Amino acid sequence: MKKTLTVLLAILLCFAMVMIVSCSKGDSGSSSTSTTAKAPAKEKVKIQIMVGFGTGTDPSQIAVHEELQKQFNDTVGKEKGIELEFLTVPYADAATKFTTLVAAGMSPDICGPVGIMGVAQFIDQWLDIEPYIKKDNIDLSDYDDALVESNRYNVDGESKLVGLPIGYYPSALFYNEDIYDRAGLEYPPEEWGTADWTYDKLYEQARLMTLDMWGADANDPDFDMDNVVQYGYDGTDWSPWRAWVGKFFDENGKSVALGMSDDYKTATMNSPEWIKAFTELERMIYVEKVRPRSDAAAGASLFGDSDPLGSNRLGVWETFSWMSYAFETWDANFSWNIGAIPSMDGHVVSATNIDTFVITKSSKHPDEAWEVYKWLFSDEIYSKLNHNYGGIPAMKELQAQWLDEQKAERPNINWKVLLDAGAYADNPNNESWVPGYSRVWDEMEFAMASIISGLYDSPEQVAEDLNDEVQDILDEYWAAK
């Protein structure tokens, strides 16, 4: 009896081990099609594009991908012996799916569209495409230079260009004209860099639009900040804290958004500029009382989950243009428009998100992946992709057409504000890579949340604590190198 049990368990254990071994690393997956040595020479190489790190997962967008897949496979693919496949995964699962595929030796060949944050999280997984660009003489002057450079990284002393920009999403002021009208205020200017358009001026407007449940505005001495029913201003909550810090510049005229030295070894988040950024946030919430104490992502707020302006209880929302999915709701409920971001200490900065496609280092067919990449960035396909994702095209010659299309759809909106924002894009970008990326991000969000939720002693202390934590992360990162 005992013997039978032992034998049975041994068989089961062996079976389990075989299962695990067969599911783990090895030359499986996409390689199987190409590495079958006995296969005919003309067997196609399969190139997989993983979609899910950003936009591109809506059914209508998937349909466009399928159409492009067919188009490629019927034309270029047939000619070059490449079979293209789009693999779409939900945004929430993308990172886990990607790491699993790479760990299992089944890496996708291309990922995208992916924002700078997605690129930064897996910075060591992307191929440097600069050699391919040089080999094929790709003209980078077709794109806005700043947008190309946003995909260039200097990681551990190695400089690489990981992708070309497909589209960008600047931030601007999206405002509710009805609330402005009720408060008797002038709308924010359409021109960027207007001399007297400062955050002080914006606060002044926002105080008049912030109302408590008894109708008093934020200028009223009896204003009840615990029972606010309409706010004047909300910031870029969904972006990292650096989207706000990027508005502050050091004495050399350089934005302090990075929060660390250029060699990424010393944290500088307790610098006077960072303390000023925290103090300014404190001012907005507790002194001017114009900004909600919650952030949109925390839910259970006055504004619901993901669209504060859509609540029709917010005067101005400084946010990115990728939230165009909410335009229809706004159209149905109130009049709205777009204005320029004001200046902070004389500097005007529009935090910007930029999408790209990247080739994975672990792709077994980088040359074929590059052929697909080139096809994606050819004029006709680029335009289709860009339409699909709703960004402003980074390819300059398509920008005028984009503007015309937007105007045709919503003639009363100041679309040019978004196009002109490119000249004020943040540098370094708010999502750009730093060592220990996710942990540094988390620490920054914690510091920001401490002030928003009132759990802090002083902005100086918040900055000091943050700096200590981030320095620990940097030390750990470099010690492991």
Partner 1 sequence: MSKERRIIPQSERYARWGYAFITPWIIGFLVFTFIPMVYSMYLAFTDYDTINPPKWVGFSNFVKMFTKGEMWHSLWITVKFGILSLPLGLFAGFMLAYLLNMKIPGMKFWRTIFYLPAMISGVVVAMLWRGMFDDQYGMINFILRTAGLRGPQWLLDPKYTLYCFLFLSVWGCGGGMVVYLSGLQSIPTALYEAAEIDGCSKFQQLIHVTVPQMTPIFFFNLIMGLIGMFQYFAEPMVLTKGGPADSTMFYNLYLYKHAFQFRNMGYASALAWFLFVIVLLLTLLTFKSSELWVFYESEVKK
Would you tell me which residues interact with partner 1 (CB under 8 A)? 1, 4-5, 8-9, 12-13, 15-16, 19-20, 95-96, 99-100, 102-103, 122, 125, 226-227, 229, 293-294, 297-302, 438-439, 442, 446, 449-450, 452-455, 480
Region of residue 340 (phi > 0: left; psi between -120 and 50: alpha; otherwise: beta): beta
Burial readout 187-219 (b: 16 or more C-beta within 10 A, e: otherwise): bbbbebbbeebbbebbbebbbbbbbbeeebbbe
Of 74 and 93, the one with the shorter C-beta distance to partner 1 is 93
- Least CB distance to partner 1 at residue 260 (A): 18
**Closest to 230 in 3D by CA, of 216, 244, 243, 247:** 216
Of 1 and 37, the one with the shorter C-beta distance to partner 1 is 1
Of 20 and 195, the one with the shorter C-beta distance to partner 1 is 20
- Least CB distance to partner 1 at residue 7 (A): 10
Give dist(CA 281, CA 235) in Å, integer.
10
Of 426 and 465, the one with the shorter C-beta distance to partner 1 is 465
φ/ψ of 175, rounded to 5, equals -125, 155
Of 22 and 60, the one with the shorter C-beta distance to partner 1 is 22
- Least CB distance to partner 1 at residue 254 (A): 29
Give dist(CA 372, CA 393) in Å, integer.
19
In Å, how far from its chain's centre is CA 181?
A: 33
Tokens for 4?
Answer: 């039978």
- Least CB distance to partner 1 at residue 446 (A): 6
Tokens for 129?
Answer: 């495409």
**Closest to 247 in 3D by CA, of 207, 213, 276:** 276
- Least CB distance to partner 1 at residue 434 (A): 14
Of 33 and 362, the one with the shorter C-beta distance to partner 1 is 362
Tokens for 306?
Answer: 């993901």
Measured at the CA of 123, the angle between CA 119 and CA 126, to 5 degrees, comes to: 85
Give dist(CA 126, CA 48) in Å, integer.
15
- Least CB distance to partner 1 at residue 117 (A): 12
- Least CB distance to partner 1 at residue 230 (A): 11
Of 15 and 325, the one with the shorter C-beta distance to partner 1 is 15
